[in-house]
Each structure stands twice: as structure tokens, then as C-alpha cells.
A and B are shown apart, each in its own frame.
Chain A
Amino acid sequence: MSALLDVRGLHKGFGGVKAVAGCSFCVRERSITALIGPNGAGKTTVFNLITGLIPVERGEIAFGGQQLHALRSHEIFDLGIARTFQMLRIFPKLTALENLMIAQRGRAEGIFDALLRPSLVREEERARRERAHECLRMVGLEEKAHAKAGGLSYGQQKLLDIARCVASGARLILLDEPVAGVNPTVRERIKALLRSLRERGTTILVIEHDMGFVMDLCDEIVVLDHGEEIASGPPERVRNDRRVIAAYLGE
């Protein structure tokens, strides 16, 4: 039982609002862990802190034993953490294929590499394109490969967002409400995709309000309330926790 992600005593305030207040939890390697809690509990803020979007006020985040403190978001990505956003953040003017190609790092990404190392660029681009097609197939968006991402439907954009994380090859994927607002077919497809990712060794931390989805899919659940974790453990145990019931039904 090794923890891939270890969050200890995390704090973050916005002006007077304490968004995250001493939150601690672990994400086991090769697990699907859910981060749940009422609206405004601080879940998205925890994601933003892990991925370096906003600076940590107090506390520690360790990924595979390495402290993420003071790293910028692209450096955190390079360590192997990819994420989606609650408010979709796909690249609307790029094609679906390009959206997935952008998530794959290479050695020849410099400004003059197309000029100085054309064969390496071509080789890396071919590999990226193949992987991008493969990931589009995984989420059933193959025929949209050359469509501008901005023109896709909401559900398709949600799928594209997840596929982008998959294409990156990250060890840990953070998903912020992946099935919010999507139809049941897409939801089942996402569920199947996440299971197959776990099979292949990817670790997943997912924020989700859909309890059916969470109970069905996740190995562990962390419950956040007022920026603090109030319970964690396997679904059966968390479901019957007194504090969790109180938080959800209102004190």
C-alpha cells in the first residue's frame, strides 16, 4: 500500500475565505480515489494547489516522494501529473487531434527545431499523432480528429479533456467533475475508460458529485467539508460515516 500522492496539512485562504483548512489525505498508487464534499468544500482548490496553479499557503504535497512545493505547473506536469478542469479548458481553435498532441512532451519542441532537427521533429510528430489517434479511439472521438475542438458538443469536449490527460501518459490523473452534465451513455463510457486506465497502472483522483458513479467506481473516498477532510476510506465505510451524513444533510 504505497501512497503516490501524499497531502499533509494543506492550507489556503482567499482573503477572508478559508478555502482549504488543514486538509490531509493519501492517494494509493493504481487506485481510483474520489474527492467528494458539498459545493464550496475546497475540492477544486486542492486540485489547483496540487498542480501549482496557485501557491500553497501552508502544508506539504509529495508526489512519489518528491515535494511539489514552489514548482510551476509545467514542472509538475513533467513529473507525471495531468488534470482536467471543472470549467472546460480545451484549446478551441486547435483540432481534436492537436489537442491531444499538445499534451505529449518531446525533445524537439524548441523554436528552431523544425529548422535544425527536422527529422527528429518529424519522428516525434508521427509518434504523437499515432498516440493521439489511439486516445481518440479510446473515447470514441476518432471521426472528430480533424474537427476544431471548439465546435464539439459539451459531452465530446469532456471526453476530449480526459483523452488529453490519457495522451500525456501521466502517472496521476486529476479529474474535476468528469461526468457533470453528460448523458448516461457518455458517463458509462467514461467509467469504463477509467477502469481500463487503472488496469494499465494509472492512478486517478476524481472529484465527483454523482454518488452512483463514485460508489461504483472508486477504491477509496476522501470527504472534504469546509476545507478539511472529515472522513476517508473504502466506499462502504464512508457511506455510513456519521459526520459525512451530517455534512451532506446539513448540520
Chain B
Amino acid sequence: MIEQYLLHLFIIACVYAILAMSLNLAVGFTGLLNLGHVAFYAIGAYTSALLAVGLGVPFWGGMLAGGCMAALFGYLLSFPTVRLKGDYLVLGTLGFTIIVEAVLKNWASLTRGPLGIAGIPKPRLLGLSLSPLPAYALLALAAALLTYWLLSLVVASPFGRTLKAIRDDEVAAGALGKDTFRAKAKALALSAFLAGVAGALYAHYITFIDPSSFSITETILIFSMVLVGGTASLLGSVAGAALLVLLPEPLRFLPIPSDIVGGMRQAIYALLLVLVILKRPQGLLGEDTLRDAWARARRRRKGA
């Protein structure tokens, strides 16, 4: 029983780790204050769930389709928003979240509105069902590791350096030959793709989704994970996700009426966020990736 519970938390933490790392690509590495991440998460989850329930498309195809659909929306969203700066970008992406939420609630013939989609099948691999929790936990872990690997490759590449330059000074990056609109559009698309994959991973695990799983508070939660862990740090995002998933769990075991547990969760997140902002503004793991730290350590050893 306790084992099941821990595996469940592990799976949820993996999903959020993917969400936080991919959001960090936009927020921490590129400097795009994107409050629309949960919309990409929802698009991935709904695409994959509808394909599976309606057309019997297997999980793997649905996951890919969910990621691609989210990426497409990320790319399209970039056109009006990458030209915007700071506050306007925040408003633009927030507006996008609200639109997607409204569509999920009201386009009932497609999304079944507030009733949600039930009976989303668990994935199968090579004829084996991945429905036992340990198997699904391995799948979630693999997805999180792949995300980490892919993103650390991207942020350490010349393209990643371009993103950081755009974050530091967009005008200068343009004057030094970087097509800043295109780079931001690509970063947003990749970020959205990974959020879409996380959505599919979540939908096929929980087997039931409705619009309330993708509300604006989810956006704030994912954003908090990035800030707590540290912007421009992939490991930080993993740590932030794990921390924010685990921290409110003890509430379950306290004799508190269930209707105020939700409020207390929010309070804990808020408290943690304030604490981090005051005590450690760069986040738990600063802005360094493991690779940066390693490179520095190696240089120090060589005495160069």
C-alpha cells in the first residue's frame, strides 16, 4: 500500500519534472516569461486521450501526436508573442491559457466539456501492459531522463548559447547575427512539445482528465517549481518539482478537513516561494547546470 503510494508520487514528480524543465527552457534560458505552459500540457493530454479513446490510437502514437500538436500551438503562439516584451508577453501567454481552458470547457462535442474524458487506456509495450505501477514508474522515469538529456544537449549547444544571449540582451543578439524571432519560436515549440508529452504521460496514467486538471493554478505551480529550483538550471527544475510535489503530502495524514487541504497546499507553495525569493533568489541550484559546474571544476583542477 505504502509502496503504491510512493510510486504514485514518483510518477507525478516525473511528470512535473518534465513540465518544469521544459518551462525552464523558455523562462530561464530564453527569458520568455511564459504563463501558458499548462495550456500545452492540456493540449498534449487531450490530443493523446481523444486519439486513444475515440480512434484507438496506441499510447506511443498519441504521445507523439500530443507533443506535436502542443509544439504547433507553441510555434503559432510565438508569432504574436515573441515580438512582445516583458509584461505583454506575460499577458499574451496568460490569455492563451484562458482561451484553451475555455475551449476545453465549452467545445463539448470535441472535449466532452466539464464531464471530462474517462477510460483512457494504459500504454502497452511489446505486447506487455504498462499498467502495473512499477512499470509505469519506469516509463515516467525514462521520459524524464530523456527530457533532461535532450534539454541539456540543447542548452549547451550553440543554439542554447543564442537563447541565453537573447535572454541577456535581445537587441545585441540581433546585431550579432541571431534571428531572435526564429530562435524564440523554436525554443517555445520545443518547450511546448515536451509539455505535450508530459500531458500524454499524465492522461494515460490517471486515465481520466477534465478541464480542472489544467487550470491556471497549475501554471503557477509549474512556474514555482522553476523559481524554487533555480532558473536556467535543469537539475534545479527537477529538484523544484520533487520538492513541491512532496512537501504538501504530509497534510494527507493530518486530521484536517479535506475542504481546507487545497487551501493549505497553496499556502505552503506561497510560503516556500517567498522563502526562496528572500533567502536564495537564484533558486536552490542557482543558474548553473551540472555541466557548467563540472566544466568549472575541471578547469580548476587543471589550474587553468
Contacts and interface: CB of A to CB of B under 8 A. Distances in A.
Q: Do A and B come from one complex?
A: yes
B283 to A, nearest CB: 14
A51 B171 CA distance: 11
Contacts of B232: 93
A102 B174 contact: no
Contacts of B23: none
Contact of B165 (A94, A121, A125): A94
A77 B165 CA distance: 16
A6 B285 CA distance: 51
A85 B180 CA distance: 18
B112 interface: no
Given A77-B177, A89-B172, A168-B176, A98 B158 contact: no
B162 A146 contact: no
Nearest to B169: A89
Given A111-B154, A114-B157, A125-B158, A91 B177 contact: no
Interface of B is mostly: helix
A74 B157 contact: no
A91 B177 CA distance: 14
Interface in B274-304: 287, 296, 299
A124 B175 contact: no
A168 B177 contact: yes
Contacts of B179: 72, 74
Nearest to A124: B158
Interface centre among A77, A111, A115, A124 (most CB of B within 10 A): A111
Interface string B129-166: 00000000000000000000010011011110110110
A110 B187 CA distance: 11
Interface size class of A (residues with CB under 8 A): 35 or more
Interface in A57-113: 72-74, 77-78, 82-83, 85, 89-94, 98, 101-103, 105-106, 108-113
A53 interface: yes
Contacts of B153: 114-115
A236 B234 CA distance: 60
B186 interface: yes
B150 A91 contact: no
Contact of A94 (B150, B164, B296): B164
B168 interface: yes
B178 interface: yes
A197 B172 CA distance: 22
Nearest to B189: A111
A111 B186 contact: yes
A110 B159 contact: yes
B162 A109 contact: yes
Interface size class of B (residues with CB under 8 A): 20 to 34
Interface of A is mostly: loop
A178 to B, nearest CB: 15
Nearest to B150: A115
B173 interface: yes
B20 interface: no
A90 B176 CA distance: 11
Contact of A164 (B167, B168, B176, B180): B176
Contacts of A114: 153-154, 156-159
A90 B168 CA distance: 8
Contacts of B49: none
B171 A91 contact: no
Given A90-B169, A114-B156, A121-B157, A82 B175 contact: yes
A62 B172 CA distance: 22
Interface in B177-226: 177-180, 186-187, 190
A89 B168 CA distance: 9
B174 A72 contact: yes
Interface in A111-127: 111-115, 121, 124-125
Contacts of B171: 53, 73, 85, 89
Contacts of A168: 176-177
Interface centre among B168, B174, B176 (most CB of A within 10 A): B176
A106 B157 CA distance: 12
B80 to A, nearest CB: 18
12 contacts: A74-B179, A77-B175, A82-B176, A91-B172, A93-B167, A94-B165, A98-B164, A101-B158, A105-B177, A111-B159, A111-B187, A168-B176
Given A109-B159, A114-B154, 13 more contacts: A72-B179, A74-B174, A74-B178, A74-B179, A77-B175, A82-B176, A85-B172, A89-B171, A91-B172, A102-B165, A111-B154, A111-B190, A124-B158
